[in-house]
């Protein structure tokens, strides 16, 4: 009788999870084994053909590498910046709450709005960035129209958007570090850098893991800005995996190939999440 | 407090029951035909209000038909929503969708040809009452599938003040590619504060390229939607010219040019000439702080521009009554009077000669002649790029254009690759 009660309590959550998480996941995997159908040629089972054509699809490799560079460019920078900002506002100083708010503002803005603002920052000649560099005598640069600068430009914007969000977690974690540790370190004559490296940073590790997981997930699932800024262009130079999935599903109506790409994305995310939990978790000191 | 809440709830429930009862009664009395229609809005402005107003007028004239017009976002969203509704078994009866969605909709067996819906001779004549060029994107295999509604072409906006300052005749826009380059050289300032011209190459590069190719006397695809001409010598020449505007003649910035910010560049005087949709006409008219002109695109071997915009489609899963009601609605929305007022309020073009023959639109054109540039250009226009597998084929061309403009590939290599991709995709349809 008691386990019936337990199952009843679980049911609402289980229904939601199964219908919106587990069933779609399984359906996606099944879909990836079928061909694109239409009224003339119905969809049929084709085994791994979709995966084969995926490995031969140059755009797939391009978006995968782009996504890797995007992750490499955004994650360490935004985490480092978040720690620096958190340390900066974690002490008594005039206008502290104002600075904290200023750091946090980008997080409140919706990504689409942010992208629209940055679209004008980056636009050649009339944009804010080119106007500022113009004062120093540099001529305008077509930031989003040049395949070499478009991805870095998007990385900078994403870091600006994300760092403030991560700062909040670090700020909370910093305030939980007992002040005695700092006092003891000062008595022992430790430098501030040494204190940070050997005491503060290790104590921040649980937060870092949490932030790291979030940052990795975001680097794969945040593509809102691409709709506004570049639509993946020029010539796929800023295209990311999830945006490519969207294009396949809704511009080309090839839901089966989109499913194939989604399976790859799911696999990548699962591997990274597991690696973080099992490898990093062991090396983290929890109080 | 609690009592009053209970009372309110009871009141609401009672009211709901009553209204349902009333709805049931009136349904029994009139047996209205109900239509659901999706429509997209691709440019800014209060366009939803205008459409809703037109639909309300229609219902006033036809009390036996009830139309539920649903704004569905941009062209892409409208297609996704309409097709999703079809798949979920609650189909809409008709929709306005991108004119180039034609083959996709036929392939999904979603729409019915108007030839199979029209009955009377009058209706058959109505099918032929629109500008033939606007019908190109709506016809294939000898049948008409789409009726033009919100349609546009590309026009050339130019800054007359900048023309004067550069010693050019402000009343005479460049008419050929050579004149365009020559004017561009005079208009481009060496310090980078003003460019001669800008042609946008993000968002819809294939659309702008359709104009350049047509001016070089080359269409991009055949009428059956299963052949593309991306690697034809004239196509390659056209892309080379576009690239040369930046790389060789230095009258346009190199790299890609953003569709979304181009209008601002023009309004701020950063470029003296821009190519853009007629859909921007009303906004430019309202916001330009200088004297501006609108002209047809220049010619190389001939003039040319693709048409653009949305058509009416009727879905296949409809009863005969719903089809005839849909026909009534479409005939109303595309009538000369409605089309004329739509054109004046939005900047989209009137879709038939009869619309431009109405006294309202004639008066408007007299006061603002640029409103007729898009219409006059129709004589030189062609269909917008639309094929089977249209999304992928279009993307392969977009990528090729951007690769050439950013210099990562030569125009010839890029277009040959795009043609190979298109051939592979379109082979099953030949």
- What integer pLDDT is reported at residue A38 of this predicted model? 67
- What integer pLDDT is reported at residue B49 of this predicted model? 86
Pairing of strands B111-112, B381-382: unpaired
Is it the case that residue B23 has pLDDT exceeding 60?
no
Q: Which residues of B touch A235 (CB under 8 A)?
A: 399-400, 402-403, 406, 408
CA distance B257 to chain A (A): 6
Tens of pLDDT, residues B342-391: 888 877 888 999 999 999 999 999 988 888 898 899 989 999 999 988 88
Is it the case that residue B410 has pLDDT exceeding 70?
yes
Relative orientation angle of helices B205-215 and B233-247, to the nearest 10 degrees:
110
Contact status of A231 with chain B (Cβ, < 8 Å): yes
Rounded CA separation B118/B143 (Å):
12
Residue B384 DSSP code? P
Q: Which residues of B touch A234 (CB under 8 A)?
A: 201-202, 255-256, 402-403, 405-406
- What integer pLDDT is reported at residue B59 of this predicted model? 93
- What integer pLDDT is reported at residue B45 of this predicted model? 60
Is it the case that residue B214 has pLDDT exceeding 90?
yes
Specify the long-range contacts of residues B74-81, CB closer than 8 Å, at least 24 apart: B74/B40, B74/B41, B74/B42, B75/B40, B75/B42, B75/B101, B75/B310, B76/A250, B76/A251, B77/B40, B78/B38, B78/B39, B78/B40, B79/B104, B80/A250, B81/B38
Question: Can you spell out the DSSP letters for A154-167?
Answer: HHHHHHHHHHHHHH
Q: Which residues of B touch A124 (CB under 8 A)?
A: 253
Is it the case that residue B80 has pLDDT exceeding 50?
yes
pTM of full prediction above 0.80? yes
Q: What is the mean pLDDT of each run of 10 residues along chain A (287 residues)?
A: 85 91 92 79 82 89 94 94 91 84 88 88 83 80 86 93 92 90 88 90 89 89 87 88 90 87 92 82 69
ipTM of the shown complex: 0.77
Reduce the secondary structure of B60-121 to three states and give it as a string: HHCCCEEEEEEECCCHHHHHHHHHHHHHCCCCCCEEEEEHHHHHHHHHCCCEECHHHCCCCH
- What integer pLDDT is reported at residue A189 of this predicted model? 87
Tens of pLDDT, residues A216-244: 888 998 888 898 888 887 889 999 999 99
| CB of B307 closer than 8 Å to CB of B134 | yes
Is it the case that residue B426 has pLDDT exceeding 70?
yes
- What integer pLDDT is reported at residue B43 of this predicted model? 62
Q: Cis check for the bond before A234: say yes or no (omega within 30 of 0).
A: yes
| Buried b / exposed e along B290-305 (16+ C-beta atoms within 10 A) | eebbbbbbbbbeebbb
Q: CB–CB of A125 and B265 under 8 A?
A: yes
Contact status of B202 with chain A (Cβ, < 8 Å): yes
Is it the case that residue B274 has pLDDT exceeding 80?
yes
Chain A nearest-CA residue for B193:
A125
Beta-carbon-side half-sphere exposure of residue A88 (alpha carbons within 13 Å): 16
β-pair partners for B315: B111
Q: CB–CB of B254 and A231 under 8 A?
A: no
| CB of B210 closer than 8 Å to CB of B381 | no
- What integer pLDDT is reported at residue A255 of this predicted model? 86
Average pLDDT over residues B193-197: 90
Q: Average per-residue pLDDT in chain A? A: 88
Tens of pLDDT, residues A143-173: 888 888 899 999 999 999 999 999 999 999 9
């Amino acid at each position: 009788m008691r386990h019936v009660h337990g199952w009843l309590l679980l049911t609402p959550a289980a229904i939601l999870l199964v219908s919106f998480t587990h069933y779609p996941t399984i359906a996606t995997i099944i879909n990836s084994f079928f061909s694109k159908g239409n009224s003339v040629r119905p969809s049929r089972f084709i085994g791994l053909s979709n995966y084969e054509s995926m490995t031969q699809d140059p755009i797939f490799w391009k978006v995968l590498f782009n996504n890797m560079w995007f992750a490499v460019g955004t994650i360490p920078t935004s985490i480092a910046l978040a720690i620096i900002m958190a340390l900066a506002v974690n002490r008594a100083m005039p206008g502290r709450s104002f600075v904290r708010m200023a750091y946090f503002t980008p997080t409140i803005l919706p990504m689409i709005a942010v992208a629209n603002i940055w679209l004008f920052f980056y636009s050649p000649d009339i944009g804010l960035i080119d106007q500022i560099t113009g004062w120093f005598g540099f001529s305008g640069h077509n930031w989003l129209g040049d395949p070499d600068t478009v991805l870095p430009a998007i990385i900078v914007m994403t870091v600006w958007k994300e760092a403030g969000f991560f700062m909040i977690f670090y700020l909370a974690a910093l305030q939980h570090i007992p002040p005695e540790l700092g006092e003891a370190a000062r008595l022992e004559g430790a430098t501030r850098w040494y204190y940070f490296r050997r005491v503060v940073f290790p104590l921040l590790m649980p937060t870092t893991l949490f932030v790291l997981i979030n940052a990795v997930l975001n680097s794969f699932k945040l593509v809102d800005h691409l709709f506004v800024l570049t639509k993946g262009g020029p010539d796929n130079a800023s295209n990311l995996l999830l945006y490519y999935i969207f294009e396949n599903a809704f511009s080309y109506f090839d839901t089966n190939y989109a499913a194939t790409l989604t399976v790859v994305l799911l696999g990548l995310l699962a591997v990274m999440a597991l690696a973080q939990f099992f490898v990093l978790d062991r090396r983290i000191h929890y109080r | 407090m609690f009592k009053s809440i209970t009372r309110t709830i009871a009141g609401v429930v009672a009211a709901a029951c009553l209204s349902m009862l009333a709805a049931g009664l009136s349904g029994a009395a009139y047996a209205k035909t109900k239509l659901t229609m999706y429509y997209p809005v691709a440019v800014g402005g209060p366009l939803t209000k205008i459409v809703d107003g037109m639909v309300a007028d229609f219902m006033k004239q036809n009390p036996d038909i009830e139309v539920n017009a649903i704004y569905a976002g941009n062209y892409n969203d409208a297609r996704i929503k309409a097709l999703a509704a079809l798949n979920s078994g609650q189909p809409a009866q008709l929709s306005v969708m991108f004119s180039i969605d034609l083959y996709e909709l036929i392939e999904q067996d979603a729409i019915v040809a108007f030839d199979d819906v029209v009955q009377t001779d009058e209706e058959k004549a109505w099918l032929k009452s629109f500008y033939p060029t606007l019908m190109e994107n709506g016809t294939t295999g000898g049948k008409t599938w789409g009726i033009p509604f919100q349609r546009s072409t590309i026009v050339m906006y130019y800054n007359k003040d900048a023309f004067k300052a550069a010693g050019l005749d402000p009343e005479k826009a460049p008419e050929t590619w050579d004149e365009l380059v020559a004017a561009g050289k005079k208009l481009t300032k060496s310090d980078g504060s003003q460019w001669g011209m800008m042609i946008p190459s993000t968002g819809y590069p294939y659309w702008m390229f359709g104009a350049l190719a047509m001016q070089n006397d080359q269409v991009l695809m055949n009428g059956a939607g299963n052949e593309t001409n991306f690697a034809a010598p004239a196509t390659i020449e056209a892309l080379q010219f576009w690239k040369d505007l930046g790389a060789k003649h230095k009258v346009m910035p190199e790299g890609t040019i953003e569709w979304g910010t181009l209008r601002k560049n023009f309004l701020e005087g950063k470029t003296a000439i821009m190519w853009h949709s007629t859909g921007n006409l009303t906004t430019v008219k309202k916001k330009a702080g200088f004297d501006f002109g609108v002209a047809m695109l220049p010619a190389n071997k001939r003039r040319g521009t693709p048409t653009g915009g949305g058509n009416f489609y009727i879905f296949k899963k409809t009863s005969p009554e719903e089809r005839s009601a849909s026909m009534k609605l479409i005939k109303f929305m595309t009538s000369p009077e409605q089309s004329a007022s739509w054109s004046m309020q939005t900047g989209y073009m009137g879709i038939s000669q009869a619309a431009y023959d109405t006294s309202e639109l004639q008066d408007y054109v007299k006061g603002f002649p640029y409103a007729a540039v898009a219409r006059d250009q129709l004589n030189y226009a062609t269909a917008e790029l639309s094929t089977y597998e249209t999304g992928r084929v279009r993307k392969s061309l977009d990528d090729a254009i951007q690769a050439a403009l950013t210099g990562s590939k030569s125009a010839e290599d890029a277009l040959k690759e795009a043609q190979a991709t298109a051939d592979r995709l379109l082979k099953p349809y030949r």
